[in-house]
Amino acid sequence: MISVGSEGPRRYLNEGGLMSVSIQNHTLSNGSPFFLIAGPCVIEGEKMVLDIAEDLQKICRDKGIFFIFKASFDKANRSSVESYRGPGPEEGLRILQKVKDELGLPVVTDIHTEEQARAAAQVVDMIQIPAFLCRQTDLLLEAGKTGIPVNIKKGQFLAPWDMTHAAAKVASTGNEKILLTERGASFGYNNLITDIRSLVVMRQTGYPVVFDATHSVQQPGGLGSRSGGNREYVYPLAKAALTARIAGLFMEVHPEPDKGLSDGPNMVPLRDLPGMLDFLKRLDALVKEEDL
């Protein structure tokens, strides 16, 4: 039994202190080889999504890395009311279903309302709670009630040990299929920093921990009416995160990030991903060879 934070909820862990989530018979845990959540920030069109998903599938299959496709059907927290948000739930979920049907890939997308949780659960393999909504009790409860895995992104405003409360809300529904994701913390205006210690703290819950390497280099509202970012830091931060012995990495990837309709400045160019994954896989294996 462990506790995180001075008064954080206590968690009973399974043998070895690791809890796991299973997707397509693949085990996701902090002790297993890292998995990758990747895809464009937002659905820009059916062909675009299918093309990227197929490219990512081939890359990850060649590298022997378990891959979950991610794309948002709605970006409800854009900087400007004029920013592109996505095709919406009905069309977006139709496209994600096509990714599953044609490529056999597991998919994840984020939700913003209780109604979206129920609709998304009919299609996706995992629901994602956006960082800004990680304290929204009703949303977490509804996500938990779906019975499918729930990935909770840590708010930029939240201490890592406080994520035990968010996880406890989902777990209260009887759903223990929970993942926790770090995506940087607010540091002054329009800037985020990554505290690698937060990965260690969240790992102590036993839940699989994911590092969002692309949103962590975002500059929210940094370009005035839209967010900026520093994608050159994605790779070094991903390497640092894996040394904390975590379950997975999250990267938004696009063939032409500078033309992307959302989060272009922090997305990884598709052409750069294979080389990055080669070293990241070796690093992860080295770290997990240690008997910690």
- Give tens-digit pLDDT for 238-275: 999 999 999 999 999 999 999 998 878 899 999 999 99
- Please identify which residue in the block is written with the tokens 């062909």: 47
- Please identify which residue in the block is written with the tokens 């975590």: 246
| 82 falls within a domain | yes
Does position 233 have pLDDT exceeding 90, yes or no? yes
How many angstroms separate the most distant Cα atoms in the chain?
51
pLDDT at 37: 98
Rounded mean pLDDT of the chain? 90
| 12 falls within a domain | no
CATH number at 120 reads: 3.20.20.70
How many domains would you assign to the chain? Answer: 1
| 97 falls within a domain | yes
The mean pLDDT of 7-23, rounded to a whole number, is 61
Instruction: Give the model confidence (pLDDT) of 25-84 as tens digits.
Output: 999 999 999 999 999 999 999 999 999 999 999 999 999 999 999 999 988 775 667 678
| 260 falls within a domain | yes
| 11 falls within a domain | no
| 221 falls within a domain | yes
Pick from 11-15, 81-85, 99-103: least confident: 11-15
pLDDT at 77: 73
Instruction: Give the model confidence (pLDDT) of 115-143 as tens digits.
Output: 999 999 999 999 999 999 999 999 999 99
The mean pLDDT of 169-179, rounded to a whole number, is 98
| 10 falls within a domain | no
pLDDT at 9: 40
Domain membership of residue 266 as a residue range:
32-289
| 206 falls within a domain | yes
